[in-house]
Amino acid sequence: MRAARCTSYGKPSGIEVTETDDLEPGPGEVLVRVHAAAVNYPDVLVAADRYQVSAPLPFTPGSEFAGVVAALGEGVTGPPVGSPVAGAVFTGAFAEQVVAPVVALRPIPDGLDMVHAAAFHVAYGTAYHALVTVGGAVAGEWAAVLGAAGGVGSATVDVASRLGLHVVAAASSPQRLAVARELGAEQGIDYVHEDLKARLREVTGGDGVHLVVDPVGGDHAEAALRALRRHGRFITVGYADGRIPRIPLNLVLLKNAIIRGFEARMMREEAPEAVAAAQHALAGMVRDGMRPMVSEVHPLEDVAAALTAVAERRTTGKVVLDLTPTR
């Protein structure tokens, strides 16, 4: 099979596509013929060995995929061979075949093709859990979404708008804010050229936002926290900026505010009922026409360029690799 391979840690330009051995599922695992794989920011970090967990060399990068079940490992009773599935693994998705634990697989909501299914679960699951499961979002509230044109950010804008929140998008350019507005953001703030705290207060009539969802970190986190209203909630989701914010705790005290984290793997292990509830709610939104914003689709051979574009902050929404079988 064809697979992307990292043989040394570093920039995505070092990743090559080669012919490798076919895979076999082990006990509790499923072999999936990958039809599409989405690029996520952590794939860049894993390739550079800058992620929380190291992938031993050599390895096939890529975490999120959609495809068709090709074989079941020992002790696995389903989904049946031939079923369409989506899933997420630590590494291995940028290849024609991936082996995943059966618990890492998800059904594909009706209405999503393989490209959109590959781009769906990580971003939209994260968005839903950040907003609802840990964020406690209530229709009519003001929510600020940082990095609002990125993968998680665009999904969060989309889901928040559909939940009836008033969404303020924050991103680094007017073009990126226009993307967020198309997904339902009522207000946009260019946090490179505008004062995020002052503008968040201004667009909410002076009171500030009820909820912040932050997949970016860096300096924007504290500015957004300072624009929370009393009893507001700040949900920290990721650090695409590269700098993990150090927050003065008096800001939390003074507002009776709550800062909470969201981490997808822990949610899968510790709160399966919340995961099921999120899947149910998101499937309903897909039935109503919601689709992840896929801005670029590339063949597997372009994997290095696709990862480089994400690493260099040049993409909006999701970038997907198309691995549709040709025969």
How crowded is the C-beta side of 56, counted as CA atoms within 13 Å? Answer: 0
Largest alpha-carbon pair distance within the chain? 63
Does residue 152 belong to the site contacting ligand NAP (CB under 6 A)? yes
Number of other CB atoms surrounding residue 169 within 10 Å: 31
How many residues touch ligand NAP (CB under 6 A)?
A: 27
Total length of the chain? 327
The residue within the footprint of ligand NAP, chosen from 35, 121, 176, 199 (CB under 6 A), is 176
The residue within the footprint of ligand NAP, chosen from 30, 31, 34, 122 (CB under 6 A), is 122
- How many angstroms separate the CA atoms of 40 and 12, rounded? 13
Number of other CB atoms surrounding residue 288 within 10 Å: 9
- Minimal distance in Å, beta carbon 192 to ligand NAP? 7
Does residue 275 belong to the site contacting ligand NAP (CB under 6 A)? no
Q: Let me know: does 322 contact 299? Beta carbons within 8 Å.
A: yes
The residue within the footprint of ligand NAP, chosen from 23, 30, 212, 240 (CB under 6 A), is 240
Does residue 187 belong to the site contacting ligand NAP (CB under 6 A)? no
Q: Is 125 exposed, middle or buried (CB count within 10 Å of its CB: 0-12, 13-18, 19+)?
A: buried
Does residue 235 belong to the site contacting ligand NAP (CB under 6 A)? no
Q: Prior bond to 79 cis, omega within 30?
A: yes
Q: Which segment (69-77, 86-94, 145-153, 194-202) binds ligand NAP by CB under 6 A?
A: 145-153
Does residue 238 belong to the site contacting ligand NAP (CB under 6 A)? yes
Does residue 239 belong to the site contacting ligand NAP (CB under 6 A)? yes
Does residue 132 belong to the site contacting ligand NAP (CB under 6 A)? no
The residue within the footprint of ligand NAP, chosen from 237, 275, 294, 320 (CB under 6 A), is 237
Closest CA to 98 of 18, 182, 3, 191: 3
Classify residue 172 by its DSSP letter: S
β-pairing, 105-107 with 209-214? unpaired
Per CB under 6 A, contacts with ligand NAP among 205-234 are 215-216
Does residue 309 belong to the site contacting ligand NAP (CB under 6 A)? no
**Residue with smaller CB distance to ligand NAP, 71 or 264:** 264
**Residue with smaller CB distance to ligand NAP, 92 or 150:** 150
| Cβ neighbours for 195, distance < 8 A, ≥ 6 positions apart | 223
SS3 state at 259: strand
- Minimal distance in Å, beta carbon 55 to ligand NAP? 15
Q: Which segment (12-20, 39-47, 159-167, 289-297) binds ligand NAP by CB under 6 A?
A: 39-47
The residue within the footprint of ligand NAP, chosen from 87, 150, 188, 232 (CB under 6 A), is 150
Q: Let me know: does 104 contact 14? Beta carbons within 8 Å.
A: no
Task: Mark 78-117 with x for binding to ligand NAP (rule: CB under 6 A) and - for no binding.
Answer: ----------------------------------------
Does residue 59 belong to the site contacting ligand NAP (CB under 6 A)? no
Distance between first and last Cα of the chain = 13
Q: Prior bond to 58 cis, omega within 30?
A: yes
- Minimal distance in Å, beta carbon 238 to ligand NAP? 2
Classify residue 23 by its DSSP letter: P
What residues make contact with ligand NAP under the rule CB under 6 A?
40-42, 122, 126, 147, 149-153, 171-172, 176, 215-216, 237-242, 262-264, 310, 313
